[in-house]
Amino acid sequence: MEKKNAWKKYPEGKRQEVFAFGEAYKKFISDCKTERECVKELVSQAKEAGFEDLKEVIAAGREIKAGDKLYADNMGKMLALFVIGRQPLEQGMNILGAHIDSPRLDLKQVPLYEDTDLALLDTHYYGGVKKYQWVTLPLALHGVVVKKDGSTIDVCIGEKEEDPVFGISDLLIHLAGEQMEKKASKVIEGENLDLLVGSIPFEHKEDEEKAKEAVKQNVLNILKEQYNIEEEDFLSAEIEVVPAGKARDYGFDRSMIMGYGHDDRVCAYPSFAATLEAGTCEKTSVCLLVDKEEIGSVGATGMQSMFFSYMVAEILNSMGTYSQIAFNRAMSNSKVLSSDVSAAYDPLYASVMEKRNCAYFGNGLVFCKYTGSRGKGGSNDANPEYMAELRKIMDDNDVYYQTSELGKVDQGGGGTIAYILANYNMSVIDSGVAVINMHAPWEIISKVDLYEAKLGYTAFLKEA
């Protein structure tokens, strides 16, 4: 079947909306490099759009009705938005589910140490990364420190022009003979992904004991004076190491975006935008943005958490219609686009792709009927009836879309949150944006694919 290039929908002079949406998205991923930053920003935008805190509505004892716009924030790292539809909730919801965590490095709980008059921060990588990609890059620190009194300190160091940046060193080519013989997975070891953060010793004229780790002490003094952080505070901190710098236009024609965290914020952002744009629909619209997908969707803020189920039950209860049967029906009658990225065809690595069944830049929204690996292991495999319904919705709304697998059958594979939502007997399919350099510090997407995703998600909410 012929694939259609979505740029042909937008000839020169008619690309303003595509590029404008790309600019808004660039700002989002430049400002929001952690789950907490994403939730904080999107809650702010949701409030401006008239959304109310579901927990406050419940506490006030208000009855929830059609047209209500609600959000629920789970621990600052998971977000569910509901626009209550005209049909009873038992008829099901139309859900856009994406994740807002991305591969990165995390500081260990006892991270700061000194070695040969250099101060370093010890890290633990998060998610699937090629470790060698993270060396010799300017890196920034984002996160939160929670002190014993319960107060919090937001950390963002390395993004402003006047900020310092940090980095992980690599072995100079002149001495790298043995290193170059190693497998790529062993060129850089996980325990060597430590950040260099200081080299000036603190002057101790009287205390010889402190002078033994004077560079570390100098860093601790800076942390205390400039950020009110003490060494023990790292025990209750969550600080992520991410590439420093803003997302940028990519290519002479500015058709692409290079940025950190496209996987999966390139699906989360248009899902959120579509939820605002669609307004009140026949069925309740849900935008569900979760944490921990990159490490198995585990934990209280991952998709395997009961949080979303609890919020649906609370809404049914506030509508005066809660029962186990009503909850079961609301969940099993729901339809889901598990909005996650797909691997874009890269002509430099053509051998891992099967050309008829892969995603291409500029061909629009990607539907992936099944993911998994080697024999569909661990896959959610969508029903053809559901796929047919989505084809009609996309065609009726002139949304450019394509279908894809994640590489050749024996090459590898991956998974998403789709199978978890499918456990509720929902109709679920993976649907997202194609990415080059997936899981690298700097990933690439097409602006027109991003825009078609927003159009497709909006059409789904209105018509599924």
pLDDT, one tens digit per residue, over 397-409 is 999 999 998 877 7
Fold of the CATH domain 6-102+260-463? Aminopeptidase (3.40.630)
Residues 6 or more apart whose Cβ sits within 8 Å of residue 313: 322, 327
Mean pLDDT score, 88-95 = 97
Question: Residues 356-403: pLDDT tens digits?
Answer: 989 999 999 999 888 777 777 777 888 999 999 999 999 999 999 999
Mean pLDDT score, 104-129 = 97
Instruction: With cut-offs at 50, 70 and 90, classify the pLDDT of residue 227.
Output: very high
Mean pLDDT score, 98-107 = 97
Distances (CA, A) of 32 to 39, 242, 246, 250, 434: 9, 11, 10, 20, 20
Mean pLDDT score, 273-301 = 96
Distance CA(239)–CA(140), nearest Å, equals 10
Which contacts of 18-21 are long-range, i.e. CB under 8 A and separated by 24 or more positions?
Answer: 18/447, 18/448, 18/451, 19/254, 19/447, 21/270, 21/273, 21/447, 21/450, 21/451, 21/454
pLDDT of residue 337: 96
Distance CA(61)–CA(134), nearest Å, equals 50
- Class of CATH domain 104-243: mainly beta
pLDDT of residue 410: 63
pLDDT of residue 374: 73
Structure tokens at 392: 């009609």
Boundaries of CATH 3.40.630.10 in the chain?
A: 6-102+260-463
Give yes or no for residue 208 having a pLDDT over 80. no
Question: Residues 24-34: pLDDT tens digits?
Answer: 999 999 999 99
Question: Residues 139-188: pLDDT tens digits?
Answer: 999 999 999 999 999 999 999 999 999 999 999 999 999 999 999 999 99
pLDDT of residue 94: 98
Residues 6 or more apart whose Cβ sits within 8 Å of residue 423: none
Give yes or no for residue 316 having a pLDDT over 70. yes
Q: pTM for this one?
A: 0.94
Mean pLDDT score, 333-359 = 92
In 3-state terms, what secondary structure has residue 386?
A: helix
Distance CA(9)–CA(399), nearest Å, equals 10
Helix (H) or strand (E) holding 29: helix 16-31
In 3-state terms, what secondary structure has residue 357?
A: helix
Lowest pLDDT segment from 225-234, 350-359, 365-374, 434-443: 365-374
Mean pLDDT score, 270-291 = 97
The alpha carbon torsion through 158, 164, 170, 173 (nearest 10 deg) reads: 120
Q: Are 100 and 265 in contact (CB under 8 A)?
A: yes
Q: Which residues of 265-283 are buried (b: 16+ CB within 10 A; e: fewer)?
A: bbbbbbbbbbbbebeebeb
Boundaries of CATH 2.30.250.10 in the chain?
A: 104-243
Residues 6 or more apart whose Cβ sits within 8 Å of residue 454: 21, 270, 273, 274, 277
pLDDT of residue 450: 98
What's the maximum distance between 2 C-alpha atoms anywhere in the chain?
A: 79
pLDDT of residue 119: 97
